[in-house]
Amino acid sequence: MTITRTDWSEKINPTVQNIPPSGIRRFFDLVTETKGVISLGVGEPDFVTPWHVREACIYSLEKGYTMYTSNSGLLELREALAVDLDNTYHVKYNPRTELLITVGVSEALDLCMRTLLQSGDEVLIPEPSYVSYAPCTVLAGGVPVFMSTGMDDSFRITADLVQSSITPRTKVLLLCYPNNPTGAVMDRDELEKIAEVAVEHDLIVISDEIYDRLTYIGKHTCMAALPGMKDRTLLLNGFSKAYAMTGWRVGYVAGNPDFIAAMTKIHQYSMLCAPITGQMAALEALKNGQPGMRRMVEHYNRRRNMVVQAFRDMGLPCFEPGGAFYAFPQTSVTGLCSEDFAEELLKEEQVAVVPGNVFGTSGEGFVRVSYAASLDDLSEAFRRMGRFVRRRGVRSRLISAPIKIQRPERAGISQSL
Ligand code: PLP
């Protein structure tokens, strides 16, 4: 029998074929090839999951909790989440019908898109945006429509911007505040106006609130807690960031019971359930992890102040992030585009940051710097970055682009994913 090679390029679904791999991943292949690198690139807490959480999970394994849970997740965890949401935001969810435990916010986002979108439905996404939003939209048959923000508007959207981005095909408004990659937070007044627009145009709001507890300026407003918004909001959250639990893979969606039931069908056939060990750990984090979480947040806040000041001292304009653990300094003042800045910094000074253009075209001219790193690493990284910026020199501040909407054909979607 003659062996013929399969032409996989013909077999792979073109929608998947056309999606570029994450720009962050491509950049981090470079990082692993370079010695002595201080990485301020990954969006991951530098803390290990608190000991009491790890211990609770060890006990659960000793007791033999190694099986599937219900598709919806452990009822005890859903009950604890319902209490937590009520205590924090005064929004009541029925743990049996309005909560689904997922494999991180990542799965939650994918499920929301696949359950909501039909071919051609438009999803409004503030940009710069987290790298998964546009690909998950496209994979579900939707069309991402980016709403550009810049440093001059503190990387916030406005109700007017949302209003002017709406077409008859707009179905979803996807929000992420505090924001990855900019650290921007929204104030309640503007969110209320945005909520009115969502109601007027019958939009579903997907609110990714994975950084809600990491808010340093003002008080976080939960979209679902605004008047009339609980039923049209899909609230996404998880344990990765606030509780330093990225590897446990636990997140959740809170929302309308019919929608949760529909999502659960995809979840039960594709994922079955989130891992029980992670769910046990999440339960412990919710019950006893609040003081530890608050201590971590205090650490991030101290580093945030130091990082913003350090960028400004070296002449890079840096907007003050109100949440998450990222700074987004403007590096175009060195005359380098985002990719060149990040690559040359890595090669010359062995410091890894993420080029802003991987978060979309309006991220060009910036880099994302995670300050979820030890103070020692941050101090050394800033010494090296200062040296690098001094060598390049700093030109006068470039004014960031005015707010604009990027329709897909103009946005060059494949580049900005
Ligand atoms: N949403 C945002 C905004 C993120 O920054 C991340 C991770 O970086 C995720 C979702 C994914 O979170 P999880 O670990 O819960 O899948």
Ligand 1 center from residue 266 Cα (angstroms):
20
- Token pair of 58, please? 């060890």
Q: Is 178 in the pocket of ligand 1 (CB under 6 A)?
A: no
- DSSP 8-state assignment for residue 44: S
Please say if the pLDDT value at position 1 is more than 80. Answer: no
The per-residue DSSP string of 276-340 comes to HHHHHHHHHHHHH-HHHHHHHHHHHHHHHHHHHHHHHHTT-------BTTEE--B-GGGT--HHH
Please say if the pLDDT value at position 410 is more than 50. Answer: no
Question: Would you say domain 51-288 falls under CATH 1.10.10.10?
Answer: no
Q: Is 329 in the pocket of ligand 1 (CB under 6 A)?
A: no
Q: What is the pLDDT of residues 230-289, one digit of tens each?
A: 999 999 999 999 999 999 999 999 999 999 999 999 999 999 999 999 999 999 999 999
pLDDT at 417: 30
Which ligand 1 atom lies nearest to the CA of residue 107?
Answer: 16
Q: Write down the CATH number for the domain with range 20-49+291-411.
A: 3.90.1150.10
Q: What is the pLDDT of residues 133-154, one digit of tens each?
A: 999 999 999 999 999 999 999 9
Q: Is 240 in the pocket of ligand 1 (CB under 6 A)?
A: yes
Q: Is 325 in the pocket of ligand 1 (CB under 6 A)?
A: no
Q: What is the pLDDT of residues 168-178, one digit of tens each?
A: 999 999 999 99
d(CA 336, CA 189): 37
Tell me if residue 19 falls in helix, strand or coil. Answer: coil
Which ligand 1 atom lies nearest to the CA of residue 251?
Answer: 15
Q: Is 210 in the pocket of ligand 1 (CB under 6 A)?
A: yes
Please say if the pLDDT value at position 40 is more than 70. Answer: yes
What is the domain partition of the chain in residue ranges? 20-49+291-411, 51-288
| Selection from 151, 229, 231, 242 nearest residue 191 by Cα | 229
Q: Is 82 in the pocket of ligand 1 (CB under 6 A)?
A: no
Q: What is the pLDDT of residues 296-313, one digit of tens each?
A: 999 999 999 999 999 999
Contact criterion met (CB below 8 Å) for 213 and 293:
yes
Ligand 1 center from residue 387 Cα (angstroms):
32
Please say if the pLDDT value at position 30 is more than 80. Answer: no
Domains 20-49+291-411 and 51-288 are alike in CATH topology: no
Which ligand 1 atom lies nearest to the CA of residue 106?
Answer: 16
| Stretch 54-63: mean pLDDT | 97
Q: What is the pLDDT of residues 337-378, one digit of tens each?
A: 999 999 999 999 999 999 999 999 999 999 999 999 999 999
Ligand 1 center from residue 41 Cα (angstroms):
14
Q: Is 214 in the pocket of ligand 1 (CB under 6 A)?
A: no
Please say if the pLDDT value at position 408 is more than 90. Answer: no
d(CA 389, CA 349): 11
Please say if the pLDDT value at position 59 is more than 70. Answer: yes
Pairing relationship of beta strands 143-148 and 170-175 according to DSSP bridges: unpaired
